[in-house]
Structure 1
Amino acid sequence: MFNDRSTPLSLLSTRRSGKPRAMVAPGPDEAQLRTILSVGMRTPDHGKLAPWRFVVVPKDRRDALETVLAEATGRARAGDRIDVAANREFAQQAPTLIVVLSKPVKDSKIPVWEQELSAGAVCMNILHAAHALGFVGSWLTGWATYDEHVRDAFGGPDEKIAGFLYIGSPGNALEERPRPDYDDVVSIWK
């Protein structure tokens, strides 16, 4: 349908996720990352609560993340072998890693569910901004997203990890994935 990034609509319709393990340098520089995160902050936010925040994990802290993952894996699967290779790949892949935390304001009149949806929208805006700057991004969750030990490395008990966002340059051509058929997901309310 759209094959270039020359218009906003074609930009949005050509964004797709890349595999973090296939991302290569360069990632966004400091100014580009600031732009990407600033675009993320323009997400709809009922009540102007900013019920989310970002933690950038620089390359020199990836070994520490790998240790946190190993500790969490060891506790969760006591007695089992820790998958060192999987933890290493999760922690070390892609030039840029951002942890997005959902931090709902509990005493607000805005339902927590709306605040959590805003955190998800932040993740999507970040991926769109990365794409607009010529990078590829990916939003991963998985077991580490729901592990309290991993969460505590970045935040507190009133927060949840909304996702690990990986950004870099594509190391190979991105493949299009199957998309839902329009008529299967769109209906007219009668």
Structure 2
Amino acid sequence: MSPALDLLMQRHSIPSRQLGEPAPEGAGLHALLAAAVRVPDHGKLVPFRLIELRGEAKQDFGDRLAAIAARNPALSESKREKERTRYAFAPLVLVVVARVTAGSKVPPIEQEVAAGCVAYNLLLGAHAMGYGAQWLTGWAAYDADVASLLRLAGNERVIGFVHVGTPQIEVPDRERPAVEDVFSTWAP
């Protein structure tokens, strides 16, 4: 098997709570980001952007997220604390944002898929660099107040929060679907 295919076969997510220092920064982060944005982009629209959460900004984001979540009067204190610390573990969180150009010949789904490819390239690139990563969404990815907190424009939405760091545990691979169960050949 080629080294590139071997990399794909070994990639798996590391739970964000199990990611610690270090995370890529400086030239390493730039290389990861440059690789991540090499995605199919029909129409060359660049329908994505990235927002970095690192250091105290992650904790401030978590505090604000907990305040937004507290709109729900039934939210328990333990769940509010979970929201407050959701971004506290991995040293780097990259918010992948889809930026859809309305009226383009490129359908919105293709633009969003391109942004999804950026998120997946972050996972692959982190793995290739010896880091671990996890792509998460959760309610915050779909919430209008969180979008406002992130200063997203009306044509933007969160595709995911990619947590990146150094694995603190060995995570066993999970069972994957058998190719035979998901592959078919179309015939007229």
Give the TM-score range, shorter chain.
over 0.9
Instruction: Report the equivalent of 2:18.
Output: 22
Instruction: Report the equivalent of 1:182.
Output: 179
Tell me the SS of whatever aligns to 1:57.
Answer: strand
Work out whether 1:161 is the aligned partner of 2:158: yes
Contact conserved, 2:119 with 2:135, CA < 8 A, in 1?
Answer: yes
Instruction: Report the equivalent of 1:42.
Output: 38
Structure 2 CA distance for aligned equivalents of residues 171 and 85 of structure 1: 22
Contact conserved, 2:70 with 2:80, CA < 8 A, in 1?
Answer: no
Amino acid at match of 2:33: L
Structure 2 CA distance for aligned equivalents of residues 125 and 28 of structure 1: 15
CA-to-aligned-CA distance 1:38-71 (integer Å, 9 cap, x gap): 1111010000001010000111201211122112
Instruction: Report the equivalent of 2:148.
Output: 152
Amino acid at match of 1:28: P
Structure 1 CA distance for aligned equivalents of residues 129 and 91 of structure 2: 15
Contact conserved, 1:21 with 1:89, CA < 8 A, in 2?
Answer: no
Amino acid at match of 1:183: E
Structure 1 CA distance for aligned equivalents of residues 112 and 64 of structure 2: 25
Work out whether 1:78 is the aligned partner of 2:78: no
Structure 2 CA distance for aligned equivalents of residues 33 and 18 of structure 1: 19
Counterpart selection for 1:96 from 88, 92, 98 = 92
Q: Note the aligned Cα RMSD (angstroms).
A: 1.5
Structure 1 CA distance for aligned equivalents of residues 171 and 154 of structure 2: 37
CA shift at 1:107, angstroms? 2.5
CA shift at 1:163, angstroms? 0.2
Counterpart selection for 1:123 from 119, 126, 129 = 119
How many residues are paired up? Answer: 185
Tell me the SS of whatever aligns to 1:134.
Answer: coil
Structure 2 CA distance for aligned equivalents of residues 78 and 51 of structure 1: 37
Amino acid at match of 1:55: I
Contact conserved, 1:68 with 1:149, CA < 8 A, in 2?
Answer: no
Contact conserved, 1:40 with 1:123, CA < 8 A, in 2?
Answer: yes
Structure 2 CA distance for aligned equivalents of residues 27 and 132 of structure 1: 13
CA-to-aligned-CA distance 1:127-174 (integer Å, 9 cap, x gap): 111111110110001111111111112112221100000011110102
Instruction: Report the equivalent of 2:104.
Output: 108
Q: Which runs of 4+ in 1 moved over 4 A?
A: none
Structure 1 CA distance for aligned equivalents of residues 70 and 84 of structure 2: 14
Unaligned runs of 5+ in 1: none
Amino acid at match of 1:126: L
